[in-house]
């Protein structure tokens, strides 16, 4: 597992310095589809002619490349192309490809195809992803997702022709036949079924009929709620409407807000042109595709699909109890076709191994919306695996540049308000501003204190990426990786995306053996969820937990301290208060307390996970100080002795306490600590971003003011 992100010259907003941006890369050939010519089965059904297991071997220059490195390289190439003038496919491409598919005869039998850009880029041990379309049946629903999906999956899409009238059970058999034809060549790799709407019902039916197969279901707005949808009550009205009117109505229902996808696709362009002109041009372009919608779903086909939806919903609902596959339900908040969020909560309870993620501002066709990235969703939920079980080290894919950009966008105001100060210690003991004292090569183990709710992780993770190009891998409470109580699912997706792993000896071993930069909190949840008056108090186990493992791999141990959360949040109801008033809420789905240190005694064993009630305080700075590295190289045999390792453990704890004392003293003399100066720094940052209002003489002074500290 690589310890640093393969991104060069990261600026404070994580974007590359692309000097060749004026040179546009060659665009991939169009259309995106390979020929749909396939062999026809006797039962009027079709499957792909070539099994993924029978594909040609990878070229010799890639044979020695690890899967993780290849995926990272492919993602870097993709992002380089994006910044050099390439772009992600859009809703316009969906209509254009649909139009070209409609022009030529698409036959009358379901068949499988592979998008051209997904043909051969994925590593040899990638899992297979079968896309099952929604009501349109085209198989183009992943057109905006497939460029990135093709880096980590072998992809095959189901195309159901407009004139096809295969029954629901017949379509189920098409999918089952495809799975069986591929399964033997996949070894221990799972098969992913990504379905939308009626495609979700098909995926659920296949999973229920084949509980012995290793399937992973990714379902967007399942049509299992058809009986409660507006479609159920509008069939008579649809029968009376002309095809063109149907096209307009269907386009308006495609999103949560009418034409939302059209607006999303031009939002960047609107910043560079008059708003009315850009909006009108885009709407005209969208309206020009109404005839294409009429070709995709003529009245007789739409009525057939609605009847298919009815039978699909009934079939899938009757068999939900038999679904054992790992399942992720994606629910749109503004789905005007189906009550998707309510249905997502129902399915989550009905399916044993199921999680949900909500997209409150999205419409029915989730994968065709700008800003929705299926790869990020899968990675964040820890749903990407290449074997029987998810491996937190070998299956981890480092965050891409676009994901880091989004992270920065989400936390930039927190960074601006808290104006973090980070100090590190050089080998000669000199304390310096920044992270120059942090070793670039691993393994490195950072050991320190948790602030309230782990606020210190936000600036730490981002600063390590910006300044050192290092991704910190956190060892976290196991609760973050279990099925959460309804309302909390997705709360820790960002930590999972950034490489957090659950606390265990095996995960710790794998991280250090892969020369990672690892961050550990011996105080765990007890420190992150501390009580009133316990700020900066350490709750460490009495016995050593990490020294001997670090010595085994010669890892440098760097103690650190973090202060500042007493300026950020005020505890109103802590654990003790909630116990007294019986207000305590657990976060796990079944109320079980997952305590990674249940065998210990004392305060550190009291790690009941709860939701502290707190309110913001007047913002203040966060300060983090990394002490001098403690070498363990060459001490492997010496530190096998429990007494010797315990001495080093106590030394690390003592130095963490010294780091805290140092910061609490120094921040009292920081002239830039108070809220007024912090507000000025926010304004200065905005001015610096809008550099056109600053003269070349003033800009350096503004930058110096932003970076100023004690």
Bridge-based pairing state of the strands 517-520 and 444-448: parallel
How far apart (Å, rounded) are the C-alpha atoms in residues 597 and 605? 6
How far apart (Å, rounded) are the C-alpha atoms in residues 81 and 20? 10
Which phi and psi angles does 422 have, rounded to 5°? -125, 130
Query: Which of 680, 661, 439, 670 shows the shortest CA–CA distance to 556?
Result: 439
How far apart (Å, rounded) are the C-alpha atoms in residues 227 and 81? 45
How far apart (Å, rounded) are the C-alpha atoms in residues 701 and 518? 36
| Contact indicator for 520, 410 with CB cutoff of 8 Å | no
pLDDT on residue 83: 40
- In the numeric block, the tokens 């507000």 are attached to 679
pLDDT on residue 676: 46
Residues in a beta bridge with 327: 217, 354
| Contact indicator for 220, 195 with CB cutoff of 8 Å | yes
Which phi and psi angles does 559 have, rounded to 5°? -75, 145
Query: Which of 393, 403, 513 shows the shortest CA–CA distance to 465?
Result: 403
Query: What six digits make up the tokens of 281?
Result: 């041009």
**Count of CB atoms situated within 10 Å of the CB of 413:** 11
Low-confidence ranges of the chain (pLDDT < 70): 1-87, 102-107, 119-121, 233-287, 483-489, 567, 582-609, 619, 674-710
CA atoms within 13 A on the CB side of 132: 32
How far apart (Å, rounded) are the C-alpha atoms in residues 224 and 609? 35
Largest CA distance in the chain: 85
User: Rg of the chain over CA atoms, in angstroms?
Assistant: 28
Bridge-based pairing state of the strands 421-425 and 431-433: antiparallel
pLDDT tens sequence across 249-301: 555 555 444 444 444 444 444 334 444 444 445 455 566 777 777 788 888 88
How far apart (Å, rounded) are the C-alpha atoms in residues 656 and 493? 29
pLDDT on residue 41: 35
Burial class (CB in 10 A: 0-12, 13-18, 19+), 268: exposed
Q: Where are the domains of the chain?
A: 66-380, 413-567+620-669, 675-707
How far apart (Å, rounded) are the C-alpha atoms in residues 192 and 155? 9
pTM over 0.95: no
Burial class (CB in 10 A: 0-12, 13-18, 19+), 57: exposed
Helices (H), 12-110: 67-83, 91-103
pLDDT tens sequence across 528-558: 888 888 888 998 988 887 999 999 999 999 9
How far apart (Å, rounded) are the C-alpha atoms in residues 98 and 159? 11
Which phi and psi angles does 670 have, rounded to 5°? -85, 110
CB neighbour burial string for 578-591, b if at least 16 within 10 angstroms, e if fewer = beeeeeeebbebee
How far apart (Å, rounded) are the C-alpha atoms in residues 197 and 542? 54
Bridge-based pairing state of the strands 623-626 and 613-616: unpaired
How far apart (Å, rounded) are the C-alpha atoms in residues 14 and 29? 30
pLDDT on residue 272: 40
* DSSP states along 297-335: S-HHHHHHHHHHHHHHHHHHHTTGGG--SEEEEEEETT-
Q: Give the C-alpha distances (Å, rounded to integers) separating 129 from 100, 384, 431.
A: 24, 11, 51
Bridge-based pairing state of the strands 326-332 and 354-359: parallel
Q: How far from chain centre, in Å, is Cα 464?
A: 20
CATH, domain range 66-380? 3.40.50.1820
């Amino acid at each position: 597992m690589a310890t640093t992100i393969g991104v060069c010259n990261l600026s404070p907003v994580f974007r590359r310095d692309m000097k060749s941006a004026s040179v546009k890369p060659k665009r991939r050939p169009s259309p995106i589809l390979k020929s749909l010519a396939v062999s026809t089965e006797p039962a009027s059904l079709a499957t792909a002619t070539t099994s993924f297991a029978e594909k040609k071997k990878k070229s010799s220059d890639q044979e020695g490349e690890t899967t993780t490195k290849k995926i990272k390289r492919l993602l870097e190439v993709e992002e380089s192309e994006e910044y050099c003038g390439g772009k992600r496919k859009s809703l316009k491409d969906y209509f254009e490809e649909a139009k070209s598919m409609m022009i030529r005869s698409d036959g009358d039998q379901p068949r499988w195809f592979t998008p051209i850009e997904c043909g051969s880029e994925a590593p040899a041990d990638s899992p297979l992803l079968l896309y099952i379309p929604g009501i349109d049946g085209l198989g183009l629903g992943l057109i905006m997702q497939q460029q990135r999906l093709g880096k980590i999956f072998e992809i095959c899409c189901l195309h159901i022709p407009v004139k096809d009238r295969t029954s629901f059970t017949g379509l189920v058999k098409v999918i089952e036949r495809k799975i069986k034809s591929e399964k033997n060549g996949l070894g221990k790799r799972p098969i992913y079924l990504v379905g939308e709407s009626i495609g979700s019902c098909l995926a659920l039916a296949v999973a229920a009929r084949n509980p012995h197969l290793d399937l992973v279901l990714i379902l967007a707005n399942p049509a299992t709620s058809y009986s409660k949808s507006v479609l159920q009550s509008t069939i008579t009205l649809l029968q009376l409407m002309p095809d063109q009117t149907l096209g307009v109505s269907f386009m308006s229902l495609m999103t949560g807000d009418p034409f939302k996808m059209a607006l999303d696709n031009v939002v960047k362009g609107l910043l560079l042109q008059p708003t009315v002109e850009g909006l009108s041009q885009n709407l005209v372009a969208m309206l020009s595709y109404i005839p294409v919608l009429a070709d995709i779903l003529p009245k007789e086909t739409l009525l057939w699909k609605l009847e298919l939806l009815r039978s699909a919903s009934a079939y899938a609902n009757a068999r939900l109890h038999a679904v054992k596959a790992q399942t992720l339900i994606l629910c749109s908040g503004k789905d005007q076709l189906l009550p998707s969020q309510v249905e997502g909560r129902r399915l989550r309870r009905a399916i044993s191994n199921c999680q949900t993620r909500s997209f409150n501002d999205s419409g029915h066709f989730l994968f065709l919306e700008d800003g929705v990235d299926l790869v990020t969703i899968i990675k964040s939920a820890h749903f990407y695996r290449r074997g029987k079980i998810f491996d937190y080290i070998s299956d981890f894919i480092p965050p891409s540049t676009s994901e880091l950009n989004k992270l920065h966008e989400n936390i930039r105001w927190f960074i601006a308000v808290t104006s973090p100060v980070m100090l590190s210690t050089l080998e000669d003991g000199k304390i310096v501003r920044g992270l120059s004292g942090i070793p670039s090569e691993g393994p490195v183990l950072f050991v320190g204190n948790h602030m309230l709710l782990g606020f210190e992780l936000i600036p730490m993770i981002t600063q390590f990426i910006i300044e050192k190009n290092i991704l910190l891998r956190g060892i976290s409470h196991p609760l973050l990786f279990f099925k959460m109580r309804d309302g909390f699912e997705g709360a820790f997706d960002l930590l999972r995306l950034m490489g957090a792993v659950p606390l265990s000896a095996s995960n710790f071993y794998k991280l250090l053996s892969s020369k990672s930069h690892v961050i550990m909190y011996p105080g765990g949840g007890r420190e992150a969820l501390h009580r009133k008056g316990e700020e900066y108090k350490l709750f460490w186990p009495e016995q050593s937990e990490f020294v001997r493992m670090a010595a085994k791999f010669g890892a440098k141990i760097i103690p650190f301290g973090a202060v500042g959360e007493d300026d950020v949040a005020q505890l109103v109801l802590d654990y003790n208060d909630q116990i007294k008033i019986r207000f305590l809420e657990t976060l796990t789905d079944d109320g079980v307390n997952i305590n990674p240190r249940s065998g210990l005694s004392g305060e550190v064993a009291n790690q009941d996970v709860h939701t502290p009630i707190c309110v913001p305080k007047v913002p203040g700075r966060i300060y983090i100080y990394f002490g001098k590295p403690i070498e363990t190289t060459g001490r492997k045999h010496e530190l096998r002795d429990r007494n010797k390792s315990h001495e080093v453990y106590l030394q690390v704890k003592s130095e963490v306490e010294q780091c805290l004392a140092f910061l609490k003293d120094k921040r009292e003399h920081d002239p830039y600590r108070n809220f007024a100066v912090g507000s000025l720094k926010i304004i200065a940052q905005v001015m610096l971003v809008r550099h056109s209002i600053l003269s070349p003489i003033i800009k350096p002074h503004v930058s110096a003011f932003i970076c100023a500290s004690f």
